[in-house]
Amino acid sequence: MRYVIIGNSTAATFAIEGIRSVDKEGAITVISAENRPAYGRPLISYYLYGKIPAAKMDYRPASFYGENKVEVLLGARAEKIDPAAKKVTLADGREIFYDKLLVATGSRPFTPPVEGLETVPQKFHFMTMDDALALEKALTPQSRVLVLGAGLIGLKCVEGILHRSGEVTVVDLAPRILPSILDEEGAALVQKQLEEEGVKFALNDSVLRFSQNCAHLKSGKELPFDVLVVAVGVRPNVELVKDAGGEVRRGIVVSNRQETSLPDIYAAGDNCESFDTSAKQNKILAILPNAALQGECAGKNMAGGKGYYLGGTMFNAIGFFGSHIATAGVYEGESYTERTENTYKKLFYQDNVLKGFILINNIERAGIYTSLIRDGTPLDAVDFNLLKHAPGLMAFAGSVRREKLGERRER
Amino acid sequence: MKVVYVNEDWCLGCHLCEYECAFANSGDTDMVRALKDKQIFPRIRVEDGANDVHFAVNCRHCRDALCVKSCIAGALSKTEGGAVVIDREKCVGCFTCVTVCPYGAIMPDSEGKAAQKCALCTDNLMGEPQCVKHCPNRAIVFEDRG
């Protein structure tokens, strides 16, 4: 059996483990565009921040590929899938034949069509280790940095580079920071803290035009800068599957076993859609844990085992300069709020289930809330008043507590 | 594999397990010196409720652990024996694991910079789970229940 995996990040790594949990012998080939073993992609901001050295960023121990008998083609870019001939053609002309193929190509940064962007001499994305290393090289203690995008990637980048730069300004079209995970009140709290660290914001604003080292904003402001970071979002890498005739909507369409519409071709990670159990619709759940679960599921199925991925819910853990934010689900229905000067908690519930939460600087045991959302636990089966104030197992029925603490758990 | 299990019917709510855990992982050989006048950050935590209900919670060492799947750094892994362990040198303290653990059994460490969790006293010099060894009423046991 020849297994081929295009991509070499989270989904690919867990797919290797999934395959090997079923088939110890089949040949596994990984086609990796990046020139290094798999690393924790979200660690790149922590690297620049000085929280982790490059040598500690590998996602698995150095022995991983050898022990799992995986051949990794580094710096190799897949250009075409031929599902009839069951082969992948690389940019350098090499042809790799497969029996089972996983497309774990993730996503790529989106470049907005802004006039004059091509005139900016120093511009970067913030997605890969190469991006981080290039940015690191460009920064000096005098650098004026302009970050386009106040989302998760843009602001983690800001945390990483602030102490390496002269000043950092973030521009976003949205009226608040982190609009995908925070409400107004939460965003204001986090923004205030970032401003206290020295970060400048131009929200509700956008760049109309660049002229080399100057951004001309819609508001009329002109922002001179030395280094530009573009972090306005990502697009899924669906083209290989689409061009091969596979079904693609926003992302690659997969079954609950991660099968694409093409025979023997699977997809997992940020390039494919899955069922968002909170929003009750198919979405690209572009978070690392879903890539892991989908990759493992795909791997098991490729090797003839039984894996199912029945959907998931969005959740995020992020923080800046010592703060900690945990969020999950959707922000619909009634809400419960607790607020102090530096902490914020908001729970959203509807139709007898917890729908979502925002926790800022009080994240301990947040996973208990996440599990209520994930499991769709009826709130009348738990002591929700107790849970509102502090997540704990005490709020569950005695019989449920006994199972959780007295039986071996699957997860 | 052998895991720590808790029976709330026997738990007195004495919190001794928390102190023994903090001591076991302090690296110190003297309990008084290790704990006196210090805030402790044990990996096992006792919940106290109404009607004199008490129980301790620590890592369940799930077979298919969500924390391991969720770790952005590859810092959490399973040993060959099945225990969930953390490499704190690799942990960057994003606390995705805290956000996903259904038991609330993984937590920020004393400095809040990395996560900590129960490794069944395999990562200290004690050799066996000290919460179990010192529980005065056998409410905490170390058993193989599958």
What's the complex ipTM? 0.98
Residue A273 contacts B where some CB pair is shorter than 8 Å:
no
Which two tokens mark A291? 């890539």
Candidates A14, A59, A409, A410, partner chain B, best to mutate (most B CBs within 10 A): A409
- pLDDT digit string, tens, across residues A78-87: 999 999 999 9
Say if residue B51 is exposed, middle or buried (CB neighbours under 10 Å; 0-12, 13-18, 19+).
exposed
Instruction: Tell if the CB–CB gap between A367 and B92 is shorter than 8 Å.
Output: no
- Tell me the CA distances in angstroms from A213 to A114, A149, A173, A407, one per residue in order: 14, 18, 20, 62
Residue of A42, A365, A368 with shortest CB distance to B72: A42
Residue A127 contacts B where some CB pair is shorter than 8 Å:
no
Task: Report the candidate in A354, A274, A352, A347 with the shortest Cα–Cα distance to residue A312.
Answer: A274
For the residues B4-11, what does the mean pLDDT come to? Answer: 97
Q: What is the pLDDT of residue A85?
A: 98
Which strands, in side-by-side order, build the sheet including A315-318?
A315-318, A325-329, A353-360, A344-350, A334-339
Compute the distance between CA of residue A230 and CA of residue A114 in angstroms, rounded to an integer: 11
Residue B81 contacts A where some CB pair is shorter than 8 Å:
no
Residue A322 contacts B where some CB pair is shorter than 8 Å:
yes
Residue type present at position B52:
D
Q: Which helix (H) or strand (E) holds A20?
A: helix A10-20
Name the residue in chain A with its Cα closest to that of B84. Answer: A411
Q: What is the pLDDT of residue B119?
A: 97
Residue B64 contacts A where some CB pair is shorter than 8 Å:
yes
Q: Which of residues 23-62 of B touch A (CB under 8 A)?
A: 47, 49, 53, 55, 57, 60-62
Q: Considering chain A, what is the average pLDDT of its residues?
A: 97
Residue A387 contacts B where some CB pair is shorter than 8 Å:
no
For the residues B36-52, what does the mean pLDDT come to? Answer: 96
Eight-class DSSP state of A119 = G
- pLDDT digit string, tens, across residues A204-222: 999 999 999 999 999 999 9
Residues of B in contact with A391 (CB under 8 A): 104
Compute the distance between CA of residue A393 and CA of residue A66 in angstroms, rounded to an integer: 42
Residue of A57, A326, A367 with shortest CB distance to B102: A367
For the residues A341-357, what does the mean pLDDT come to? Answer: 97
For the residues A369-397, what does the mean pLDDT come to? Answer: 97
Eight-class DSSP state of B97 = H
What percent of chain A is modeled with pLDDT above 90? 100
Q: What is the pLDDT of residue A370?
A: 98
Residue of B5, B89, B95 with shortest CB distance to A326: B95
- pLDDT digit string, tens, across residues A151-180: 999 999 999 999 999 999 999 999 999 999
Q: Which residue has the higher pLDDT, A279 or A4?
A: A4
Compute the distance between CA of residue A61 and CA of residue A189 in angstroms, rounded to an integer: 39
- Tell me the CA distances in angstroms from B2 to A85, A116, B83, B125, B129, one per residue in order: 49, 63, 9, 18, 11
- Tell me the CA distances in angstroms from A394 to A112, A194, A381, A385, B18, one per residue in order: 49, 36, 12, 11, 17
- pLDDT digit string, tens, across residues A118-129: 999 999 999 999
Residues of B in contact with A12 (CB under 8 A): none
Compute the distance between CA of residue A390 and CA of residue B70 in angstroms, rounded to an integer: 23
Question: What is chain B's percent helix, strand, coil content, to nearest 5?
Answer: 20, 20, 60
Instruction: Tell if the CB–CB gap between A405 and B8 is shorter than 8 Å.
Output: yes
Instruction: Tell if the CB–CB gap between A328 and B99 is shorter than 8 Å.
Output: yes
Residues of A in contact with B46 (CB under 8 A): none
Q: Are A89 and A82 in contact (CB under 8 A)?
A: yes
Instruction: Tell if the CB–CB gap between B102 and A46 is shorter than 8 Å.
Output: no
Which two tokens mark A122? 């120093």
A89: which strand partners? Answer: A80, A95
Compute the distance between CA of residue A372 and CA of residue A367 in angstroms, rounded to an integer: 9
Binned at pLDDT 50, 70 and 90, residue A293 comes out as very high
Q: Which residue has the higher pLDDT, B127 or A158?
A: A158
- pLDDT digit string, tens, across residues B47-65: 999 999 999 999 999 999 9
Which two tokens mark A106? 């993730």
Residue A316 contacts B where some CB pair is shorter than 8 Å:
yes
